[in-house]
Amino acid sequence: QVRRLVVQDADGKGITGVLARVGKGAWPAGRTDGSGGIGFAVEGKEKVQVRLRAEDGRSAVVFLAPASPDPKGPQTARLPRAGAIAGKVVATEDGRPLAGALVWPTLDQGAFVRTAADGAYRLPAPTADGKGGVQAAAAGRFEANADLSARSGDQRGPTLALSAKVAAGGIVVDEKGRGVAGAEITAALSPGARPMVMSVYSSGGLVRSAESGRFRLANLAPGVAYELKITRPGFAPAHAELPPQEPGRPVPDLRIVLRTGRTAFGKVLDQRDTPVAGAEVVLRPAASPNLNVRFRQAREGDQGSFRGTTDASGRFELRNLPPGTYDLTARGRGFAPLIVPGLTLPDGAGGTDLGTVVLAPGVALDGVVTDPQGRPVEGAEVRARTAAGGDFEAILLRQAETSPPDAYTAVDGSFRLEDRAPGESLDLAVSRPGFGPGAAPGVLVPTEKPVRVVLQPASRVSGRVTGSDGKAMPEVFLSLHEMLERSMGGRSMMAMGRSLRAETDDEGGFLFEGVSPGPIEVRAQAPRHQQVELQGLEVKPGQDLTGLEIVLAPGGVIEGRVLSPAGRPVPGAEVVVQEVSQSTSPFPSFTRLRANADGEGRYVLDGVPPGPRTLAATAEGYDRTARDLDVRPGDNVL
């Protein structure tokens, strides 16, 4: 059934050209016609969320009533009167205004404006209550953003401080000093770097050397060390350290030499000394005792590995290898994989014989996946990992959707894992939409009977959010976290697993679908209200959890400034609400309530529980400072 929605202004006049996006995915459905109307095909009994945005920036969220046999005419939605926010964009290092910077609403990059000569900007207010955010960018500087949800309704927008980028350059040459074109230079934060400014984490990146071998890295943050990785086909990968750079200093000129590297070779045979053709051979750097090197290895993942395939004689050859210690893994169809650890490659060109790898026949692990009634579950994803111990479920199930599956179940629910090593202990994780995750830890290969994994049907969790006055609260953001039990140091503890998101409708109702059976936590937050967290909830297998009632009490909004001893703003300073632990520990614990100062040193902390609180401010180059205050519901201006 087609339902019609008419979008009007505050005076009841239809608005043309309003963009409508529907559902949780916010899919574009079209624009309103000359009378402000637009039609939607509505199915089922659930309300449909519709996000509206006019060309002048006004926006609203409405919920289209479900189809009914006797519709009462078009549903109407009214957009608020047009408002505006005004602010500035300045340089972080000295506070000078930045002319020509781009500023835009967070959810609408196309609605950008440019700042004037004094750095000023003016944008349409996102909504009547100021929800949303604003972002800014300028050439040679990192982007910055600010939230508008809790700011006072005085039309004052944030002053966005943009940090300057620094550059570094150099040349990539071969062993004869000739420039190497097309080399990829990747800059990543050094493992020991702990920058306080979030924009730094988007710095670095990848560039390629020019025909002359020269390159330039222009997306670097000042005062931060980087690690460079340099790769080019035909050469061994190289690494280099880039020390912290400061604005205004000469750009360092690096000289990076790519070497041909080592060639490793060997053979793969079966137990009858017959060559194994088509076997995959992988060399991975062995785990280093150096924590920084291990961090790099984890970051690179399989990108730091070298792969080859055996020919008809079983011979393999891997070229352009840097010196180091490696673990070799060989796999062939019909054989169990074999790992040969601790193979050392010396420095310099030449070849290294890694010897002969003998593969033993592999065995298969059969299994079946069913629902609680014994019915087969088709299309389930099965992942196998070497047994990890008591915390397997907390780790593996949490990553169940991030790695490729090893097998899929057939129409009868069966699956087979080929080429496993006899005596191997495997942890199995099984997942499928519509069901909670399943697991079979510590399966010893092979088994006498197929491994059976039972998936419990996923459930729905629903409820309602109201204010302390009992009125429904629409557009409240909620998160649901599935909790997993894990073992650490012989002690059992709960760890956060999969998370789901939801938003309340116009009657305050919310719904989570596809929730796995087991313990869960639900959190709700809204501007100018205290966050609520429901703990100790449990979803029973095959049952929905309904009727949750969440009441959001008013919270305090703290607005203030962070200044230096000389009275100048400190952009980027972090301000947190510090709460002293109620336990006997003398150390303070910090809450989620934190904010960063803008270009004028201004900060906004939303949802602070009323009562005595302590604010603590920190910034690079300054001593930590704290201030006590008595927070009241509503605005608290310092």
State residue 603's pLDDT score. 92
- Rounded to a whole number of angstroms, the CA Rg of the chain reads 30
CA distances from 114 to 94, 123, 138, 485, 550 (A): 20, 10, 10, 51, 43
The answer for residues whose C-beta is within 8 angstroms of residue 273's C-beta and 6 or more apart is none
What gap in Å lies between CA 462 and CA 544, rounded to an integer? 8
- The separation between the first and the last C-alpha atoms of the chain, rounded to the nearest angstrom, is 55
Per-residue buried b or exposed e for 453-470, using 16+ beta carbons within 10 Å of the residue's own CB:
bbbbbbbebbbbbbbeee
Cβ(310)–Cβ(268) below 8 Å: yes
Helix (H, G, I), strand (E, B) or coil at 603: strand
Listed in sequence order, the DSSP H helices in 85-162 are none
Q: How many CB atoms lie within 10 A of CB 548?
A: 17
To the nearest 10°, the Cα dihedral for 63, 65, 67, 68? 180
Cβ(445)–Cβ(363) below 8 Å: yes
Which position has the token pair 């990108």?
303
Per-residue buried b or exposed e for 7-29, using 16+ beta carbons within 10 Å of the residue's own CB:
bbbeeeebbeebbbbbeeeeeeb
CA distances from 143 to 140, 179, 510 (A): 10, 34, 34
What gap in Å lies between CA 345 and CA 236, rounded to an integer? 12
**Cα-Cα-Cα-Cα dihedral sign, residues 269, 270, 271, 273:** negative
* Structure token pair of residue 8: 């009007």
String of DSSP letters for 373-389: TS-B-TT-EEEEEE---
What gap in Å lies between CA 607 and CA 48, rounded to an integer? 29
Cβ(511)–Cβ(502) below 8 Å: yes
Per-residue buried b or exposed e for 208-240, using 16+ beta carbons within 10 Å of the residue's own CB:
ebeeebebebebbbbbbebbbbbbbeebbbbeb
pLDDT tens readout for residues 393-440: 444 444 444 578 999 999 999 999 999 999 999 999 999 988 988 999
What gap in Å lies between CA 412 and CA 86, rounded to an integer? 63
State residue 425's pLDDT score. 93
| Strand ranges in 296-350 using DSSP code E only, listed in sequence order | 306-309, 315-321, 324-331, 338-345
Which position has the token pair 């990539």?
172
* Structure token pair of residue 144: 């910055």
* Structure token pair of residue 74: 């078009």
String of DSSP letters for 6-73: EEE-TTS-B-TT-EEEETTTTEEEEE--TTSEEEEE--SSS-EEEEEE-TTS-EEEEEEPPP-SS--S
Question: Model-level pTM?
Answer: 0.78
For residue 284, report the phi and psi dihedrals to the nearest 5 degrees.
Answer: -120, 140
State residue 591's pLDDT score. 64
Cβ(296)–Cβ(303) below 8 Å: no
Cβ(332)–Cβ(359) below 8 Å: yes
Which H or E element spans position 404?
Answer: none
Cβ(470)–Cβ(464) below 8 Å: no
Q: Which domains does the chain have, with CATH numbers?
A: 2-78 (2.60.40.1120), 84-162 (2.60.40.1120), 166-257 (2.60.40.10), 262-359 (2.60.40.10), 363-454 (2.60.40.1120), 459-552 (2.60.40.1120), 556-637 (2.60.40.10)
pLDDT tens readout for residues 54-96: 887 788 888 887 765 555 678 899 988 777 889 999 999 889 9
For residue 371, report the phi and psi dihedrals to the nearest 5 degrees.
Answer: -90, 180
What gap in Å lies between CA 443 and CA 417, rounded to an integer? 12
Which H or E element spans position 446?
Answer: none
String of DSSP letters for 487-552: EETTEEEEEEEEEEEEE--TTSEEEEEEEPSEEEEEEEE-TTB--EEEEEEEEPTT--EEEEEEEE
Helix (H, G, I), strand (E, B) or coil at 313: coil
Task: For the chain, list residues with pLDDT below 50.
Answer: 128-130, 152-154, 389-401, 581-590
Helix (H, G, I), strand (E, B) or coil at 212: coil
